[in-house]
Amino acid sequence: MTTNGDSVERTLRGDIWYLKPIHWTRHGEDAPRELKIITQNFNGPCSLISLCNILILRGKIEIQPADRRSVSYEYLSALLADSLVTEQTDPALSAALSTLPNTQRGMDLNPLFTSIDAFRPAGDGGELKLFELAGVQLFHGWLVDPSSQEFDVVSRISDYDSAVNAIVEADYISQGRVVDDTAGADTDFSHLENMSPEQQQKLHDALTIRHWLEATSSQMTYHGLFTLSSTLPPGSLAALFRNSHLSVLYKSATDDGALYALVTDHVFANEPSVVWERLEDVEGGASAFVDGFFNTSSPAGGDFAGATAEGALRAIEAREEDESSRADRELAMMLQREEDEHAQAVYQEARRRQQHEEQQRQGRPPEAPPPAQGQPIPRRPMKRKNSCLIM
């Protein structure tokens, strides 16, 4: 299973990520620091960005110069490599560094549903070794509850890739009925011809795991959230796999021991009071944004005051989409007006030529000479939008 956001085709600025200044107090220190974290656009490599942001927060790497506004993959990979080479003597370092380009496309993680720090990648796990050498733990909260009815099946299938394979195999056996929305875990397939007890068990397991995956589509369960909260030491930073994305996870050093995810979405790059998202539930409906001092956020203009983190993000994305749609409509209307004016000019020119020819046939002097034969009618200028030429 790979993290998302990495299969999108690169744009001209697809490998440039903007920086955001935040306030951050390291564990064991009293005075806050101002540093810059890396924000992520729609096709940013979340694995590389999360790893670098953790090292930035720990003080292992630093973005220079101080007035730098953006970074590239080349800059980050060189910065990370220099840091690891300086601190590591592990012979596996060279092989791990060779996997750096893979972090642009995502990571093959394949989490196990019975342990918050267990992953079973299909490849050699080089990217996981990169995190290990950097001293960054990788967690997930996609755990099956031992007290649940699904525990026996889910724990036996054990990981995401195996779950997908089990569903595919059972769907083939059942002639496409496993992925049918009406099929449930208690569906009776005994009426299918030549169905052995072993095959029926596979169908039952596949339906159980399918419904469990659907019920935990956020890739976080309450059992997983509670396990994370009780396992991480106060003041610790780690990488969290959730929603097919890697983010920075922080456990508060205060008595409440709250869990926070670093907000790196580029839509909040200019919101200094939106730094962390407090993890309160598995769906994000009760989460809230806080600033670098972990005070409740008050975004500029108060547009999202009192809103949940999920609601605020959706509102910003909707606003950006509305602004983009409005700009597209205005551009379309402008182009339509120009098209109409151009068509009107062509029509008027044709009328002038027709009148000129009519006057010549009648032997009358023309009122005005037409343009020279072959002289083109002026076209409207080309306009540029998002690096595309609009004629």
Q: Are residues 26 and 117 in the same domain?
A: yes
The model's confidence at residue 256, banded by pLDDT at 50, 70 and 90, is confident
What whole-number distance in Å separates Cα of residue 345 and Cα of residue 23? 60
Q: Are residues 123 and 24 in the same domain?
A: yes
pLDDT score, position 320: 58
Is residue 42 a part of any domain in this protein? yes
pLDDT score, position 6: 42
Q: Are residues 275 and 332 in the same domain?
A: no
- Mean pLDDT lowest for which of 38-52, 87-101, 247-261, 356-370? 356-370
The model's confidence at residue 342, banded by pLDDT at 50, 70 and 90, is low
- Assess whether pLDDT exceeds 90 at residue 53: yes
Question: Which residue among 199, 215, 231 closes a domain?
Answer: 215
Is residue 208 a part of any domain in this protein? yes
* Sheet arrangement for strand 16-24: 33-38, 16-24, 70-72
Is residue 280 a part of any domain in this protein? yes
Of 286, 206, 274, 284, which is closest to residue 245 (Cα–Cα)?
284
Is residue 1 a part of any domain in this protein? no
Percent of the chain with pLDDT over 70: 68
What whole-number distance in Å separates Cα of residue 156 and Cα of residue 177? 22
pLDDT score, position 208: 95
Mean pLDDT value across the chain: 79
Q: Are residues 164 and 227 in the same domain?
A: no
Burial of 362 (0-12, 13-18, 19+ CB in 10 A): exposed
Q: Are residues 258 and 361 in the same domain?
A: no
Q: Are residues 325 and 372 in the same domain?
A: yes
Question: Which residue among 307, 336, 352 closes a domain?
Answer: 307
pLDDT score, position 382: 34
- Burial letters 303-320, b for 16+ CB under 10 A, else e: ebeebbbbebbeebeeee
Task: Give the mean model confidence (pLDDT) for residues 98-103.
Answer: 85
Structural tokens at position 107: 């990571």
Structural tokens at position 363: 């032997």
The model's confidence at residue 11, banded by pLDDT at 50, 70 and 90, is very low
Amino acid identity of residue 162, one-letter, is S
Task: Give the mean model confidence (pLDDT) for residues 324-343.
Answer: 59
CB-CB contact of 136 with 239 (8 Å) = yes
Of 303, 298, 301, 306, which is closest to residue 275 (Cα–Cα)?
298
Q: Are residues 335 and 378 in the same domain?
A: yes
With left for phi above 0 and alpha for psi between -120 and 50, is residue 28 left, alpha or beta? left
For residue 190, the enclosing domain spans 151-215
Number of domains comprising the chain: 3
pLDDT score, position 190: 55
pLDDT score, position 22: 96
- Assess whether pLDDT exceeds 90 at residue 283: no
CB-CB contact of 273 with 298 (8 Å) = yes
Model confidence, pTM: 0.73
CB-CB contact of 180 with 170 (8 Å) = no
Task: Give the mean model confidence (pLDDT) for residues 32-41.
Answer: 92
The model's confidence at residue 315, banded by pLDDT at 50, 70 and 90, is low
Is residue 5 a part of any domain in this protein? no
- Mean pLDDT lowest for which of 24-38, 249-263, 338-352, 370-384? 370-384
Is residue 9 a part of any domain in this protein? no
Q: Are residues 30 and 161 in the same domain?
A: no
Q: Are residues 44 and 126 in the same domain?
A: yes
Q: Are residues 135 and 201 in the same domain?
A: no
The model's confidence at residue 380, banded by pLDDT at 50, 70 and 90, is very low
Question: Which residue among 252, 272, 307 closes a domain?
Answer: 307
- Assess whether pLDDT exceeds 70 at residue 170: yes
Is residue 263 a part of any domain in this protein? yes
Q: Are residues 240 and 106 in the same domain?
A: yes
Is residue 10 a part of any domain in this protein? no
pLDDT score, position 350: 59
Q: Are residues 359 and 297 in the same domain?
A: no
The distance from CA 43 to its chain's CA centroid, rounded to whole angstroms, is 7
- Assess whether pLDDT exceeds 90 at residue 241: yes
The model's confidence at residue 200, banded by pLDDT at 50, 70 and 90, is confident
Of 11, 247, 16, 237, which is closest to residue 134 (Cα–Cα)?
237
The model's confidence at residue 286, banded by pLDDT at 50, 70 and 90, is confident
